[in-house]
Amino acid sequence: MTDTIVSYLAKFGPFKDLLEFLTESYGANGPTLFAFLIFLVGVIIIVTILSTIGGLGTYAERKISADMQLRMGPNRVGPYGILQFLADGVKMLMKEDIVPKDVDRLLFFIAPMLALTGVFGTLAVIPFSSGFTLTDLNVGVVYLIGISSLVGLAIFLGGYASNSKWSMLGGMRGASQIISYEIPIVLSILAVVLLSGGLSFGVITRAQGGWPHEWFIFHNPFTFIGFFVLFIGSLAETNRAPFDLPEAESELVSGYHTEFTGMRFAFFALAEYIEVFVVCGVTAALFLGGYQVPFNLGGDTIWGQLLQLGAFFSKTLALYYFVIVIRWTLPRLRVDQLMTMCWKYLIPIALFNLVGAGVWMWLFKGKSLFVLLFKSGTAAAGIH
Amino acid sequence: MSNLDIYMPILMLLLLGVLLVGITVVLISKVVRPHNPNPVKEQAYECGEDPVGSAWSLFNMRFYVTGLIFIIFDVESALMFPVVAVFKSMNEIGLGGLVLIELIIFITILVAGLAYCWRKGDLDWVKSYKMSEDSKEGTGIEND
Amino acid sequence: MFDLTLFFISAVLTVIGAIMVITTKDLMHACIYLLASFLGMAGLYLTLGADFVAAIQLLVYVGGVVILMVFAVMLTGGPHAQKQNKFGMIKTALMGNIRTYTIGGLTAVVVLLMMVKLYISIFKNYTAGELPNYLPTVERIGKSLITDHVLAFEISSVLLLGALIGAAIIARPRKNRIN
């Protein structure tokens, strides 16, 4: 049975009572109704939290860039300007919704919708903790890659529907960049799947441990490179600098969302910042041990879950911080450099990694580098 | 829970994404936002110039080639996903070498195609300028 | 309960999407309706318990084929490309003549008869089925790919190699006839 938040919560007293009550009242439909209620509440909570994180992401972006450039950054709304994103949201809501004359109205409406839908769809399988995963699908990784490719289509449609030259260029660049960088991402994920033997995030996370030497990033030299391939690919997938060609401010005005105003723009921005969090979370789950805590402290209890949430969020937010710092450090790539980087460097490296990881698994029976070193160390010590 | 209940949150999230955008853009925002369109506002933004012609024009072939090669790699990875997923359990019962060889053959054939495209310059983004100036030999282009 | 909901949503999405694809006049809109149809089909696979196939449907069709089609539409100059060339000739071809309509009509009749024959046998032996118990499909697909169907697995790689080289050759810029 697939682990879901429902199967986790059903172990606890009040939820068990609710389940029994619903089963008595509605018969066979009781468990479905129970699942529906839990999922509904869970979905709303997770979407709210992630939207807040996305909003805070815009604030963090400005604050960190201000720090790096010796400026103040937002400091008016709330303490240290932390409520700036709410003010921005209200401003966006009040802005006039300018729809240029020549746009494709249907697609102009659908593009932000697809972007947000694609990002929200990924949230279903993000492993926040062993209990609080909405649903740990057997094919979670494939599902995540598939549903997040809606965002690439949304970026293209945003550029296309605007009927503006800047937007069109940005949209074309964005779509081709996103599909190109999907390949190295998929290939480095394949290497992780090969090590863990399952396509669900739960299996992949449980194959790792709480301590850094049990993470897949330090499992063998190939996964160490694979982590960086995945991370670079994720940067390109989310259109973050140095791969922000679809929205290159200095050449394309604002790229694919030049013509979008008000809430339509806000949804594009929100989708982008949530997607950054999602790819950081996925990277953390695949390579950095995800929600695993040392000694499996707390176990299945509520405190254990909170510790796991803390581990997951601290790893993810550390990566998030790193992504923001990269944006304000590195210059933007040229389009041909971008494609060369993907097709001539990342994809061959990722393929090599995949084969290398397979050979490592076969040669050393799946043992990690640390185990091999440690074992040979003790063996040598035993001889003396 | 019945079999398919685990897919419930996916449907919910997708519907939520659609509804959130729909309701906010169509309903809530319409109530509070101003609406004073004028011809200048409704032009496409081109840094102050009047836009000439439509942006929906013929695009470069290279985007389509990227898409084609992407699809092929996508299908390859789709075929490899189940195989690598069983690699670990196969490795534990001693069949790891067999699976590995099958996987390596599969990847080698794929790499051969990639190497061919690389060698012939199909992976170069700026090839069209180079190609037209190239001499006859070595480009693999027929003189038709 | 949810099984039915998922089925109906997916089926409606698939059918409405497919109908809109063939009725809309705008190529780009057709691509988006096709996306809806593909998403619905992924849902239908889920209701049949084929979770891996559904995920692959998302990965390959929703994520790849739709974008490729959209690029192909842009290759034609967009759906609103000028229909006349610089000499004032209309570029869109005629929709067909007597011969094409005859051949098309005959083909449609043959296909229809075949489908009727298929459906009659299905409706005769129709019994309401139960959904099979949920079993993870990835492992079984993987095991059969590396044991029974290993040849198909490797041959498909050769097929894809052919597709890759073919795509590269077709897309290669032809040298201008200067001399």
The pLDDT mean for chain B works out to 77
pLDDT over 70 (residue A378): no
- Is C28 close to A107, i.e. CB distance below 8 A? yes
pLDDT of residue B1: 46
Alpha-carbon distance of A44 to A38, in angstroms, equals 10
Closest to A164 measured CA to CA, from C148, C140, B47, C6? B47
Residue ranges in A133-199 assigned as alpha helix (H): 140-162, 165-196
pLDDT of residue C112: 94
Alpha-carbon distance of B31 to B9, in angstroms, equals 31
Assign C79 a pLDDT band (cuts: 50, 70, 90): low
Distance from CA of C49 to the nearest CA of B (A): 8
Assign C23 a pLDDT band (cuts: 50, 70, 90): confident
- Is C55 close to A142, i.e. CB distance below 8 A? yes
pLDDT of residue B24: 82
Does residue A286 contact residue A216 with C-beta atoms inside 8 Å? yes
For A115-140, write each residue's pLDDT tens digit. Answer: 989 999 898 888 888 878 888 888 88
B and C: number of Cβ contacts within 8 A: 174
Closest to A323 measured CA to CA, from A57, A42, A8? A57
Assign A223 a pLDDT band (cuts: 50, 70, 90): confident
Q: Which of B2, B86, B132 sits opposite C139 (nearest CB)?
A: B86
pLDDT over 50 (residue C179): no
Closest to A115 measured CA to CA, from A163, A167, A144, A155? A155
Averaged pLDDT, C152-160: 87
Q: Which of A149, A150, A156 sits opposite C70 (nearest CB)?
A: A156
Alpha-carbon distance of C160 to C126, in angstroms, equals 39
Closest to A140 measured CA to CA, from A96, A193, A81, A199? A199
Alpha-carbon distance of C68 to B133, in angstroms, equals 29
Closest to A350 measured CA to CA, from A236, A259, A227, A247? A227
Residue type, A71: R
Q: Which position has the token pair 């229809």?
A: C112
- Is C168 close to B4, i.e. CB distance below 8 A? no
For C118-153, write each residue's pLDDT tens digit. Answer: 888 888 877 776 666 667 788 888 888 888 888 888
Q: Which of A2, A164, A365 sits opposite B45 (nearest CB)?
A: A164
Distance from CA of B141 to the nearest CA of A (A): 22
Spell out the residues 6+ positions from residue B108 whose beta carbon is closer than 8 angstroms to its own: none
The pLDDT mean for chain A works out to 84
Spell out the residues 6+ positions from residue A87 whose beta carbon is closer than 8 angstroms to its own: A77
Q: For the whole model, what pTM was predicted?
A: 0.86
Spell out the residues 6+ positions from residue A264 whose beta carbon is closer than 8 angstroms to its own: A97, A108, A109, A111, A112, A257, B25
For A327-336, write each residue's pLDDT tens digit. Answer: 888 888 888 8
- Is B1 close to A35, i.e. CB distance below 8 A? yes
Averaged pLDDT, C150-166: 87
Alpha-carbon distance of A162 to A171, in angstroms, equals 10
pLDDT over 90 (residue C108): yes
pLDDT of residue C38: 92
Residue type, B66: T
Chain C: partners with 3+ C-beta pairs within 8 Å: A, B
Residue ranges in chain B assigned as alpha helix (H): 8-22, 29-32, 61-92, 96-119, 127-133
Assign C83 a pLDDT band (cuts: 50, 70, 90): low
Residues β-bridged to residue C151: none
Alpha-carbon distance of B143 to A196, in angstroms, equals 52
pLDDT over 80 (residue B137): no
Alpha-carbon distance of A101 to A104, in angstroms, equals 9
Distance (Å) of CA A176 to CA A152, A155, B135, C39, C67: 8, 10, 30, 21, 9
Distance from CA of C69 to the nearest CA of A (A): 11
Q: Which residue has the higher pLDDT, A296 or A344?
A: A344
For A296-316, write each residue's pLDDT tens digit. Answer: 777 777 788 888 888 889 989
Pull the structure tokens for residue A28: 């066979």
Half-sphere exposure in the Cβ direction for C115 (13 Å, CA): 6
Spell out the residues 6+ positions from residue A174 whose beta carbon is closer than 8 angstroms to its own: A152, A155, A156, A159, A239, A245, A246, A247, A255, A256
pLDDT over 90 (residue C110): yes
Spell out the residues 6+ positions from residue A278 whose beta carbon is closer than 8 angstroms to its own: A119, A122, A123, A126, A148
Q: Which of A143, A164, A359 sits opposite B55 (nearest CB)?
A: A164
Distance (Å) of CA A332 to CA A242, A244, A248, A336, C34: 4, 7, 8, 12, 35
In this complex, is the C-beta atom of B3 within 8 Å of any C-beta atom belonging to chain C? yes
Averaged pLDDT, A76-95: 83
pLDDT of residue B127: 59
Averaged pLDDT, A268-281: 89
Q: Which residue has the higher pLDDT, A261 or A190?
A: A190
Judged on CB neighbours under 10 Å (0-12, 13-18, 19+), C32 is buried
Which range is least confidently modeled, A5-9, A130-134, A187-191? A5-9
Alpha-carbon distance of B124 to C146, in angstroms, equals 35
Q: Which position has the token pair 């439909």?
A: A29
Assign A54 a pLDDT band (cuts: 50, 70, 90): confident
Q: From A349, which residue of chain B is nearest by alpha-carbon distance?
A: B111
Assign B138 a pLDDT band (cuts: 50, 70, 90): very low
Alpha-carbon distance of C108 to C111, in angstroms, equals 5
- Is B70 close to A183, i.e. CB distance below 8 A? yes
Alpha-carbon distance of C63 to A324, in angstroms, equals 27
Which range is least confidently modeled, A84-88, C85-89, C111-115, C128-132? C85-89
Q: What are phi and psi of A320, to 5 degrees?
A: -60, -45
Residue ranges in chain A assigned as alpha helix (H): 5-9, 13-26, 30-68, 84-94, 105-122, 140-162, 165-196, 201-206, 221-237, 249-252, 262-287, 302-327, 335-340, 347-363, 369-383
Does residue A45 contact residue B14 with C-beta atoms inside 8 Å? no
Does residue A273 contact residue A54 with C-beta atoms inside 8 Å? yes
Distance from CA of A180 to the nearest CA of B (A): 6
CB atoms within 10 A of CB C66: 22
In this complex, is the C-beta atom of B119 within 8 Å of any C-beta atom belonging to chain A? no
Closest to B54 measured CA to CA, from A59, A303, A102? A102
For B101-124, write each residue's pLDDT tens digit. Answer: 888 888 888 888 888 888 877 777
Distance from CA of C156 to the nearest CA of B (A): 9
The reply to whether omega before A242 is within 30° of 0 (cis) is yes
pLDDT of residue B129: 47
Assign C16 a pLDDT band (cuts: 50, 70, 90): very high
Alpha-carbon distance of A170 to A271, in angstroms, equals 17
pLDDT over 90 (residue C12): yes
For A192-204, write each residue's pLDDT tens digit. Answer: 888 888 888 888 8
Alpha-carbon distance of A264 to C65, in angstroms, equals 26
Question: What is this model's ipTM?
Answer: 0.85
pLDDT over 60 (residue C90): no
Q: Which residue has the higher pLDDT, A36 or A377?
A: A36
For B79-88, write each residue's pLDDT tens digit. Answer: 888 888 888 8
Does residue A247 contact residue A283 with C-beta atoms inside 8 Å? no
Averaged pLDDT, C106-127: 88
Does residue A185 contact residue A351 with C-beta atoms inside 8 Å? no
Q: With pLDDT > 70 as the criterion, what percentage of chain A qualifies?
A: 96
Closest to A205 measured CA to CA, from A124, A141, A275, A274? A141
Assign B45 a pLDDT band (cuts: 50, 70, 90): confident
Does residue A255 contact residue A247 with C-beta atoms inside 8 Å? yes
Does residue A223 contact residue A287 with C-beta atoms inside 8 Å? yes
